[in-house]
Structure 1
Amino acid sequence: MPRKRSLLRRQLDDSSSDDDDFEILAVVVTVDTFANAKKKHGGSVPAHRVLYRDREGGHKRMFQDYLAVNPTYGPEIFRRRYRMSRELFLRIMKAVEGHDDYFVQKRNAANVLGLSCFQKITAAMRMLSYGVPADATDEYVRIGESTALESLRRFVDAVDELFGEEYLRYPNEADTTRLLAIGEQKGFPGMLGSIDCMHWAWKNCPYEKQGQYKGHVEKPTIILEAVASNDLWIWHAFFGMPGSHNDINVLHRSPLFDNLAEGRAPEVNFSVNGHDYTMGYYLADGIYPTWATLVKSITLPMGNKSQYFARAQEAARKMVERAFGVLQSRFAIVRGPARIWDIQTLSKIMRACVIMHNMIVEDEGFVVDPNERFDYGGENVEPAHGQPTRTLDEYIDAHRRIRDKETHLQLKEDLIEHLWNHHPDLY
């Protein structure tokens, strides 16, 4: 380093003034010093105050409050604060603890017992359920801000890895049969649910990305596209598109129809008004395209039949709006502005909330067989992506049939007649 300085000083003496020489030399020395400086090993910070949080005592109080044989707060209060029954919560907590060693209670080098799995998951659930910042859980859970954030990230990762394949599955044959029966009862044979998009405000969106994520609401948002059925089960969740996109842009990038185009979706055959159809459909609002797999309302209905169909379609497709409302009520973190800085963590949070939403629907509504767990995954549950089972020509032809406008118009006319003739008093 001294030799570099002397060489630089001789070069500067030949071509620069004295004042410029010293300024440039000072900058070079400063940059070189920081570049060669060794990073200190992490550890205790001198003069930093260490808080005694009494973690073990905090766990005992929490256990008595909620998990004891005779808890201070009963099942109703537990359900309100954790958004789910105690049995379901214990099932999730046990699975997460067995999946990730981070949640196993350990002792440190001083033989002091650390945070329990119940404390870490409670901190994560309070942030998800109430939408509070990380340091708001410290006084009761006895957990630091950085540890609470780490617990949140690991918890949503574990929920996605453990339960995502089962509770964010695409409908299998049994599911499709049940969804078609629900659609028939509502006067829409062949209906598999309703589709719409929800915007989640991103408070801490980086400045350089705000133009990309700002849309019609003048603040950064991230879009969730979802398909829900009448029992509020969310069958499809596609999250991460910037808020500057509309529903059509999101649909074109969504994997919603991938299984159908690749020939891996369960077959759907139904007849309406004397016409046969081989693809199910979703109810959608007016912005969506006129595809064979989407049924929209009529903007300006003329005549009693069209008016009745428009009223019936708009009433039936509210199921996805109800699902959004319940999701936001259960997990306030997706209702308020997101404070996380990175999109990857936000995506995991949204997926975990949707998964736990479906688990609560199953636990409280028995919408599926509670004994059916899809433990081995492959037989009943097909992934959203994979090796195509069709040739390229067959794949292109399937996409054409999915987006066929004539089929869309014919299906709408048949549904208008079907509702008027068979369900005149349903809506």
Structure 2
Amino acid sequence: MSPTVRATMPQGTVTGLREAACCRFSAIPYAQAPVAELRFKPPLPATWKGELDATRPGPVAPQLPSRLRGAMGDFAAPQSEDCLHLTVWTPAPDRARRPVLVWLHGGAWQSGGGAVDWYDGARLAVRGDIVVVAPNYRLAGLGWLAPEGGTANLGILDQELALDWVARHIEAFGGDPDRVTVMGQSAGGMSIANLLMRGQPKFQRAVLQSASLGRGMRSAAQAAEIARIFLRAAGAHNVEEARRLPVAALLEAQKAPDVLAWLAAENAHRALFGPVADGEVLPADEQAALKRASGRVDSVAGYTADEMNAFPTPSAPGLGDEVFGAPARRWAADAAAQGRRAWSFRFDHAPNERFGACHCIELPFVFGTVEAFKDAPMLQGLRPEEAVRLVTEMQQAWIGFIRDGDPGWPEWPQQKVFA
């Protein structure tokens, strides 16, 4: 059994585990459980007091299997609506005020989790002498349903509340609340852009990996239309009735024929649920807001050479660059034009011909979790020496940016290629 370690917060004491050179505090609530009357409502801060056992991983948000499991493999984790918690990895819960990295996972806003083994933050924390934080946020209909009269973009508000928690409490875990970098991949990268659209951010730097900046957000009217169809498929006439439905009904409704028909007719290459340009949580004028957002923090933005190879359905030639590549380059250009330091990268390493350098393939190297991805089809053929090289190169670059604001290659318009 690993020895326990404790962190003292204003509301009480948190007990985690020390594993070699890193301490892990699992499933710390940052919000109240969004269940019953709190389902489909903005998150409220957690209210626990006294002693908190953070030695065991918690559940991920309710979800269907990922459509990318053919490339990434799959993960096993319990699911629960009571999922608004975060995991902290730190060299020590002292007062060293280390730089902080907050990880926002991808999964098209439909799947994933902050602290699954793929995204274990221990190696980054130890190598960089930093604190890594990974929150869950609500997914699919529970986090992104936008019915008329309801609040849209609940998942963004979850992420924002997690960042509030970091600002208030990370010092107890050895972190510096004034040196926070947010890193996100795919939906997590777009979520960073969404957070920056909301005004003055609660972080100082950002890393956007394969952010889906080119897919666009739905309008409030479009979101309300699919919300009506979805609720009807789930067996509810309105949100009040939907609060009483079992979670399984809300998950199964994602596969209902009427829902899938609406999504196919939209033909926008978007997930069923995601950010909405509602004019309240997020601006109605997405493109103008996106350009302003790029100028609010220094950033690293990049993509992979063969993004669409991870997806199960064939795509039109050039779609990967349209959705991920060109928007990442535009983000860097817009940031630089507004006086921000910005860096661009492309990940080209392709272990096998089938998947190439596909969507998500850089993640094992950023986190140093190649072993956790050992069954991922996208990594079949990866040579051990190449894995070690890429982990070293990417972690040194990301840590350089997190610690010192510079990943170690020239700023935009230069582009770093990881081959």
Q: Report which of the two has the higher share of strand.
A: 2
Q: TM-score, normalised by structure 2?
A: 0.23
Larger radius of gyration: 1
State the TM-score, normalized to the length of structure 1.
0.23
Q: Counting helix residues as a fraction of each chain, which structure ranks higher?
A: 1
